[in-house]
Chains A and B, each alone.
Chain A
Amino acid sequence: MGCSASLPARNSGQLGALNSEGSAVSDSKNLRVKLVLLGDSGVGKSCIVLRFVRGQFDPTSKVTVGASFLSQTIALQDSTTVKFEIWDTAGQERYAALAPLYYRGAAVAVVVYDITSPESFSKAQYWVKELQKHGSPDIVLALVGNKADLHENRSVSSQDAIDYAEKNGMFFIETSAKTADNINQLFEEIAKRLPRPTSAS
């Protein structure tokens, strides 16, 4: 991280956390969940979110600045709804120090890499470690290998990713924001794994 880690944090002193009112839960039927996406710049975090929220894919690169906020509600089979409040963070190095602002209090962290880029897979592992150290103890972690449509250029094997995810108690999936492959599944699987409020209905 070099010096970047000291940049925004040092200036702003203690970083707060971006939480509206608690991180999850409204009632047992309607969950509200803070979700953060982390990962190297260019792996496709914003594309995944825009595919999920708006059903669109725009191939022109729009490097995220700071973080973008979007929300999307999905209905599950058991007639519960889950409202995801999504922080799509910037992967650029200078924002790394800012990440705690977005992942603190998050119920879900989605760590994304690009299956054609081993560096982005290492970066994903860096984020997993950071989340294990500083994230909420009961955070749901998902590891996502994006750009699955580029399989002919694959340089991170699925098996390596599966092994790593298993070792770290993460949910793993390969997606393509471009083809929409597994995008909804990703969020549905996350929703299923959320801790439910204990009050029986």
Chain B
Amino acid sequence: MASDPTSLPSPSDLSIPNPSPTEEERLATLNLEEPTGNHAPIPRPLSNGSSLSADFDTGNEIEVAEEELLGDSTDLAEGSSSHGGGGWREISEQDGEVASCSPSSSGYAGERGSSGASSGIEEVDDGVALQDDWVPGKRHLDEDDASVSWRKRKKHFFILSHSGKPIYSRYGDEHKLAGFSATLQAIISFVENGGDRVKFVRAGKHQVVFLVKGPIYLVCISCTEEPYEALKGQLELIYGQMLLILTKSVNRCFEKNPKFDMSPLLGGTDVVFSSLIRAFSWNPATFLHAYTCLPLAYSTRQAAGAILQDVADSGVLFAILMCKHKVVSLVGAQKASLHPDDMLLLANFILSSESFRTSESFSPICLPKYNPMAFLYAYVHYLDEDTHLTLLTTSSDAFYHLKECRLRIEAVLVKSNVLAEVQRSMLDGGLHVEDLPVDSSRRSRSISPQMTQENNISGSRPPHMALGGPAGLWHFIYRSIYLDQYVSSEFSSPINNSAQQKRLYRAYQKLFASMHDQGTGPHKTQYRRDRDYVLLCWITQDFELYAAFDPLADKVSAIKTCNRVCQWVRDLENEIFLLGASPFSW
């Protein structure tokens, strides 16, 4: 049998801080002050009510919050922007991180397919030569988007076995790569000689990041200037995706035969990996380790959750209803909990495998954070073009039961209009920075459908007039630490094409890495201005806020705007987050 799920360490044994008594007290008090709005009285793990002040000092957040308690409704000590130590960690960057790598300088296989291009990865410090024929004879088969094809070569991913057998390569057919094996061999001896310490090598513009997972090596070669931690996180996800398909028991094959050729076992999964790699530049879940929900009226999500709970009680381990990569609702049996990374990998697997769209399917999959050794069985069915239901069980012969569960779920969702609401939400989109309420009187504005019709400013605005939200706010991401969920605003002008979105995510990623950099300790706030943006990051016990502003934005009003974003998100939490009854609640 698949191992007993309840005996496993709970994957969400994440370091969620237990609020101290004083903290709880503070929360309780603050809740009294919250706008009453139309919210149902439910547990509100988000509301800490603290605010961000321009002279915010690490450690004094309670004081700041108390200021607010004492009646400071403006949330901000205006004009007191202190540049002294302990305030905002201010970073000015003259040179942009992007465009540091032109196509002609990105060594591997020149733009026009010439594999004889020089440079690229030239020589690593300790003398291990990494040749430039990494990826000769590109197939161009898995190109994301022909118009930006040059950019792709900026980042390579490889999976290989410790005996040097290629398992996966982002570009080119791993079997036909002449000279590839030799290079892999060089990498391996390099990693092995370096022991655990070798994780990262810089060669000119290129970074080479290694991740060793038992007999399996993962390598990223990139000139994207992404931080080491970000690239390592991406390799971890690629490894997780591989486990999702094969489980960790594949290691046993290497015990029996060190020269085992694993690549046939991943046959047909190129699309899964390339879709994940693409997600690294558009899906913040890949670095936030959180998932995001489709905005829905509280009652709609409740209706979906209730029927999912019903089937979970009938022996389904997890029931997950998603629209594209956004969660509509999800439920886990008893104590079972689902890690956001597993959700990301599962959703990526389902969304990238076209065959799921054609009919109902039943397939073994492994959730690496849940249990890397065992397969679960997934019943997958698309209820409409975008909405897919996944029911997971430990039992290999549960198909007909799951099929029946799906029919029940589908009937309820149709009857209670959930599917129609989901479609409508898809069309409406999520939060638009232009809609950020200007003052507290509009704070409790709802995004539920009825309200949207009255209030949908963005709908009536001529597209070219929209230049972001107040104070030059272009975009934000709010991540709730308790909920393992994030919400990000829709992209709007001037971040209106995928290249700019990618650039912004890279900037966020960098910010995230520096905020979570263990060497420097977790920073509470960071203010960073460069050629492209003003970036603000604010981390508390409860949430993380990442916001991007016009590079000319005024610091004080930017900070004030961040406070308003947080208030806005709290006001809308019933609709943008999955609250209560989730497998994450304690």
Contacts and interface: CB of A to CB of B under 8 A. Distances in A.
Where chain B touches its partner, the secondary structure class is: mixed
A15 B353 CA distance: 25
Given A7-B247, A68-B355, A18 B363 contact: no
Interface stretch (A24-32, A93-101, A113-121): A93-101
B274 to A, nearest CB: 14
Interface of A: 2-4, 6-8, 10-13, 15-20, 41, 46, 50, 60, 62-70, 88, 90, 92-95, 98, 101
B358 A17 contact: no
A192 to B, nearest CB: 26
Interface stretch (B168-176, B250-258, B539-547): B250-258
Interface string B341-366: 00000000100011111111111100
Q: Which of A15, A18, A20, A66 has the most CB of B within 10 A?
A: A66
Interface stretch (B321-329, B396-404, B466-474, B556-564): B396-404
Nearest to B257: A3
Contact of B399 (A12, A69, A70): A69
Where chain A touches its partner, the secondary structure class is: mixed
B363 A11 contact: no
B59 interface: no
A62 B260 CA distance: 27
B399 A2 contact: no
A65 B359 CA distance: 11
8 contacts: A3-B256, A3-B265, A7-B265, A12-B377, A18-B397, A20-B400, A63-B355, A67-B361
Contacts of B349: 65
Contact of A12 (B1, B264, B268): B1
B463 interface: no
B363 A66 contact: yes
Contacts of A20: 400
B398 to A, nearest CB: 8
A94 B246 contact: yes
A69 B375 contact: no
B361 A12 contact: no
Contacts of B266: 94
Contact of B265 (A60, A62, A68, A94): A94
Contacts of A46: 355, 358
Contacts of A12: 1-2, 364, 374-375, 377, 396
Contacts of B397: 15-18, 101
Contacts of B396: 8, 12, 15-16, 101
Nearest to A3: B253
Contacts of B149: none
